[in-house]
Structure 1
Amino acid sequence: MRNDERFEIERAFDLLPHIVGSSWAVIWFRLNKIKNPTREEYRKKVLEYLKMMEPVFESYKTDKGLTEIAKYIESRKQEEYHKIISGTNVEVEKRYNRYIDYG
């Protein structure tokens, strides 16, 4: 697959974990008045909200002509899930630090 064919998917996975996952997680923690969640609690909540995007991630699976991009999406999704849980998604970790500092 050419780089230009997966460019938009790459950008989406660069942004979705912290734009969707972290933003919704922070709202949930704030509204539940949880000011100091552990990193693990925060990461799990981020992943929970990001996983709500699954129908979008799977939207190309039914089209036979899009199997290559569907496979790429699946591998990139798993990579992002791992990065969130392992604490290697820099943007998610930044959002956690900001919430703890300014919650």
Structure 2
Amino acid sequence: MVVSARAKLGPEVLHNGRALTTAALTNPDEAPSEYIVIALMVAATGTALQTLPAKIRDAEQLRQALTQLGSVPTANLLAMEVLWEPQSPEYTLSADEVVAAYPELVRL
């Protein structure tokens, strides 16, 4: 699942809080990003994540899901990864790019 999410993202410019060097920067004359895409991958033991909805369709469902994620006991949390795009002001993410890369997303 993490590999699938990473495959859709643009070049990674941050990793564990450290900047990475990359040569493929966007044209500075382009408009700033219109959108940001954030993916959370969580692995946990126990039952806290079993009631998460398969798909989040609105802001209230997102709020509830994040609250559930926050209720996972530390002892049950195996891993968590946060991916976002674009990671840098030098990159842009237009509406067309979001639709092409993430056709299943729902605008919140």
Give the TM-score, by structure 1 length: 0.26
- Asked which structure has the greater CA Rg, the reply is 2
Give the TM-score, by structure 2 length: 0.25
- Counting helix residues as a fraction of each chain, which structure ranks higher? 1
